[in-house]
A and B are shown apart, each in its own frame.
Chain A
């Protein structure tokens, strides 16, 4: 989510990451796209570089699958689409978090093993 000076994150390693990050943020509170982009950048300390615009297809996809709901709200003369997580989204978030920790833990172990070998 960082500015264009950073090289983009590897797409093959990024599969599933936007979904997990968006569900994590929206599990806390309702947000709109720009807010989410800023929050992802802050939360990951700009470690993940991708166009901020690619958030929207991910959000729409999550909404289509019933994991998020969207509502339009006029704020300061601008129409914003706010996203919030559904009960199904919370269950998916819990499952993804667990899976991510298992995979990340495994990769960490492998990397540490490789470094020690």
Chain B
């Protein structure tokens, strides 16, 4: 969305809630149009500086251009029209869907490798168990951060206010921290058992609070640093 001539317009439209895809397209097309007018004026013998100025005037002032975009509500971002849905419901559903997909993928891999996994050699080495625990860790610690970061990136690209995105990240961080996965893998002939759930109890409250704070810090600190840079 960087533009030599329309960066101020671009920022203004984003802040007013215009969908980033429309802002990008508008700016790209205005740039191309400007170059076409300059080429036309230069071909008629006009000096370069004068041609640039005339071309910019022919396109219309930033004020006129912004007004013509803002007069069309259909070009506004749906996330700015319904921030409560975009920054809380969508991220939570995405997070739960990502967790579910991860579990399905894990079970599919285990089912596929069943013949290998049932050999005592692998179990004795404990490789499978360690790998599973590592993967659970990745899912439980990284998924909330990834989904939260995507939520904040989505908000930042739309120049949305911080309240709803922070609320969304807080809920994701809490649900992610309260989520758990475990695997019990006794020696054959007993079968392995996988369990996953979301639970909050006095026993795990401290751990949940710590994980929740860590997720929020990892997501929100870069967001606020970015906002400060933009504000300056």
A residues near B (Cβ < 8 Å) are 3-4, 32-34, 37, 50-54, 56-58, 60-61, 64-65, 78-81
Contacts and interface: CB of A to CB of B under 8 A. Distances in A.
A4 B26 contact: no
Nearest to B59: A53
Contacts, number: 73
Contacts of B71: 57
Contacts of B72: 57-58, 60-61
Interface majority SS on A: helix, strand, loop or mixed? helix
Interface of B: 22, 25-26, 28-30, 32-33, 35-37, 54, 57-61, 64-65, 68-69, 71-72, 74-75
Contact of B64 (A53, A65, A79): A53
B75 A51 contact: no
Contacts of A37: 33
Contact of B32 (A58, A60, A64, A78): A78
A79 B64 CA distance: 25
Contact of B60 (A54, A60, A79): A54
A51 B65 contact: yes
A30 to B, nearest CB: 15
